[in-house]
Structure 1
Amino acid sequence: MTKVWFITGSSRGLGRSLAEAVLAHGDRVAATARNTEPLNNLLDKYPGQVLPLKLDVTVRNQVHKAVADAIAHFGRIDVLVNNAGVGITGAAEAFTDEQVRSQLDTNLYGPIEVTRAVVPHMRRQQSGRILQISSIGGRVAGAGLSMYQSAKFGLSGFSEALSKEVAPLGIRVTCVEPGGFRTDWAGASMTFAPSVEGYETTVDWMRGFFSGDFVPMGDPAKAAKAMIGLVDHPEPPVHLVLGSEAAGILKLADEARKAEFEKWMSVTLSTDHDDAVNFLDTAAGKALMNLKAIDKR
C-alpha cells in the first residue's frame, strides 16, 4: 500500500533528499516549503505523486491550511516529517530577541503546531508515523549553539512525551537525531550572532569550525533510505541517532552523565523526606511503570 507523506522544508537539504527518495519509492508526498518553486521539477518527474504546498511553519494559519489541503488532495496523511529548521551560532548573551524567537518559532513551536494539526487525522485513522527531525544537538549540548539546541532539546522532550500519548492510538513517533550531514545546514541555513569578547576558545572556535573546512560525514541519501525503512518497521525507536559522528558524541556524553549521576548520588538521595519509601514501590510508581509497559506494546 502506498503511503502519503507530509514533509516540511522539502525544497532543499535533507528534506529534499527525503522527498525525492519517497517519490522514487512510489509513495505520494505533500511537499511543503516557504518557496515551492524548487519543487516544480518534481511535478514533471512524478506526475500525480506530489503536491507542492507553500508553508512557513511559524505561521499558524498556513500550517492548518497546508494540512487541510493535503488531506483534501490525498485523502489522508500516513507519515509526517517535521524537517524544516535553521541553525544559528553565537554566545547566549549575543543573540538578539528576534534571533531567539526565530529559533524557537522555527525549530520548536513550528513542529509542535504541525504535529498538533496532523495528529487528529491520524487518530481518526488509528494509524500514522511521525518523524521529528531533531539533531544530536537535541541530546548533547555544545558551546555556541544554545538557542538552536534549546529548541532541539525541547522537540526531543515533546516527541518522547507524545509517543507515550499516541502509542495506544496506532501512531508511532520517532525523534531522528542526525549528526553532521552534507546539506546546507552549516552553510546557507546557518546564521551567526556578533562575536563577544571572552568567548574566543569556545563560541568563536565553534563559529570558525562551521565557517571553515568543516566537511560533515553524513550522506543525506542514506539518511532518507533509513527513514523510509523506519516507517515500515513494526517497532520503531523513540530516538534514532544517525551517523557515526553523532553516535560517538552521544556515547561519550552518556558516559560522562552516568559518572556525574553516580558521583552526586548521595546528595540526590539526601533530599527525600525521612518517611519516604522507594518510589517504585508506591501506588504512583507502580502506575507509572504500568504506563511504561503500555508504551512498549
Structure 2
Amino acid sequence: MSEQQVWLITGASRGMGVDFAQAALAAGHAVVATGRDPQKVTAAVGAHENLLAVRLDVTDPADASAAVQAAVDRFGRIDVLVNNAANFYAGFFEEITPDDFRAQVETNLFGPVNVTRAVLPVMRAQRSGLVVTISSTAGLVGGEFTSAYATSKFAVEGWMESLTPEIAPFGIRTMLVEPGFFRTDLLTPESTTYAEPSLDDYAERTRQTVTAWTAMNGQQSGDPAKLAAALVQLAALDDPPLRFAAGADAVGAFEQKAQDLLDQAHAHHDLSSSLAHDDGTR
C-alpha cells in the first residue's frame, strides 16, 4: 500500500464511525465517510480536503455500488474498507418480532456483505486491500437479551473467517474487530430498539435489564478515540491480525471463550472420539 491510504467507512454520521474517520484523516489518509445523510456525516466528522461524504444505506446494494464508484472517481482506489454501520434490536427472543429479528440480520450482516461485495472488485484489481469489519464480543459470546444481535454478529464472524482465505491470493486481508463496552451511541434510542414487552414471564427481567443498560449508557469504560487510533495503527501493518480484541473486557471474553471451548471439547472426549465407523473410515 502507498503511505496514504484511501479509507471507506460506513456508519460515519455518529458513534465510532466518526472517530474512525477523524483518526484516519489525522493520520494523513483520504476518507470516504458514508451515511444515510451525507450532510450529517460532514457535520459530524468536520470539513477536510481529504474527506468525501457519500450517501450509503448499507442495506441497499445499489447505494453500495454508487458509493464505491464515488470513492474511485475521487481518489482512484480503496485501500481500507471499514464495515462499521450497525444497529441493535434488544430483548428476549420470544418477544422480538420475526420482522425485527430479520431486520437485525439485514443491517448487521447483509449490510457489510453488500458493501464488501461492491468493494472487492476494486481491491482485486489493485491486488491489495484490507477489509475491516466491526463485530462485537457478542459475536463470540452469546447472552440473554441479545439473541438477535448476537446472531447477526456470530454470522459476521463466520462470513469473514471464510472470506479470508478466498481473497488472500489477491493480496486482500481481513480483520475482525471485537469491541467490548465502549462509550458510543449503541445504547441510545437512535441505535437500540427494545422489544415491546408482551409476556409476563419476562417482564421483571426486562425491566431490570433495560434499567441497567440505560444507567450504563455514557459510563462505558472504552474510549472510541483510542480504538480509532489503534485501528489506524493496525491498518498500517503488513500483517494485521485476523481478530483484534478491543478493550480489556474483550480480552477477557476471548480468554474465557477459549477456555470454555476447551472444557467442552474435553468434557466428553472419549464419547466424541468414538463415533467413527468400525472399519476406520469416516
TM-score, normalised by the number of residues in structure 1: 0.88
Secondary structure, counterpart of 2:201 in structure 1: coil
Q: Judging changes above 3 Å, is the alpha-carbon distance between structure 1 residues 244 and 202 closer, same or farther for their aligned structure 2 residues? A: farther
Q: Aligned equivalents of 1:207 and 1:275: distance in 2?
A: 56
Which residue in the other structure is 1:212 paired with?
Answer: 215
134-143 or 186-195, larger mean C-alpha shift = 186-195
Secondary structure, counterpart of 1:32 in structure 2: strand
Which residue in the other structure is 1:105 paired with?
Answer: 106
Equivalent of residue 233 in structure 2, options 207, 229, 234: 229
206-215 or 250-259, larger mean C-alpha shift = 206-215
Q: Aligned equivalents of 1:254 and 1:206: distance in 2?
A: 27
- 1:198 and 2:201 matched: yes
Structural mapping, 1:22-41, within 5 Å: 22-41=24-43
Which residue in the other structure is 1:70 paired with?
Answer: 71
171-180 or 232-241, larger mean C-alpha shift = 232-241
Can you list the C-alpha shifts for 1:223-259, whole angstroms capped at 9, x where unaligned? 0011001111111111111001111223223222211
Which residue in the other structure is 1:55 paired with?
Answer: 56
Q: Judging changes above 3 Å, is the alpha-carbon distance between structure 1 residues 266 and 59 closer, same or farther for their aligned structure 2 residues? A: same
Q: Aligned equivalents of 2:280 and 2:104: distance in 1?
A: 42
1:46 deviation in Å? 1.3
Letter of the 2:55 counterpart: K
1:41 deviation in Å? 4.0
Which residue in the other structure is 1:285 paired with?
Answer: none
1:202 deviation in Å? 5.5
1:199 deviation in Å? 3.0
1:69 deviation in Å? 1.4
Which residue in the other structure is 1:120 paired with?
Answer: 121
Which residue in the other structure is 1:153 paired with?
Answer: 154
Letter of the 1:157 counterpart: G
- 1:2 and 2:43 matched: no
1:205 deviation in Å? 4.0
Which residue in the other structure is 1:262 paired with?
Answer: 266
Q: Is the 8 A contact 1:13 1:184 kept in 2?
A: yes
Q: Judging changes above 3 Å, is the alpha-carbon distance between structure 1 residues 253 and 200 closer, same or farther for their aligned structure 2 residues? A: farther
For the aligned residue pairs, the C-alpha RMSD in angstroms reads 1.8
Which residue in the other structure is 1:162 paired with?
Answer: 163
1:167 deviation in Å? 1.3
Q: Aligned equivalents of 1:181 and 1:93: distance in 2?
A: 28
1:43 deviation in Å? 8.3
Equivalent of residue 249 in structure 1, options 236, 253, 257: 253
Q: Aligned equivalents of 1:77 and 1:245: distance in 2?
A: 32
Can you list the C-alpha shifts for 1:128-171, whole angstroms capped at 9, x where unaligned? 01100000110111101010110100001111111111112111
Aligned-pair identity (%): 38
Q: Judging changes above 3 Å, is the alpha-carbon distance between structure 1 residues 274 and 43 closer, same or farther for their aligned structure 2 residues? A: closer
Secondary structure, counterpart of 2:202 in structure 1: coil
Secondary structure, counterpart of 1:206 in structure 2: helix
Q: Is the 8 A contact 2:18 2:45 kept in 1?
A: no
TM-score, normalised by the number of residues in structure 2: 0.93
Q: Is the 8 A contact 2:22 2:45 kept in 1?
A: no
Q: Aligned equivalents of 1:113 and 1:208: distance in 2?
A: 35
Q: Is the 8 A contact 2:14 2:41 kept in 1?
A: no
Q: Aligned equivalents of 2:58 and 2:167: distance in 1?
A: 22
Secondary structure, counterpart of 1:29 in structure 2: strand
Can you list the C-alpha shifts for 1:56-80, whole angstroms capped at 9, x where unaligned? 1011111111111111121110000
Q: Give the length in aligned residue pairs.
A: 277
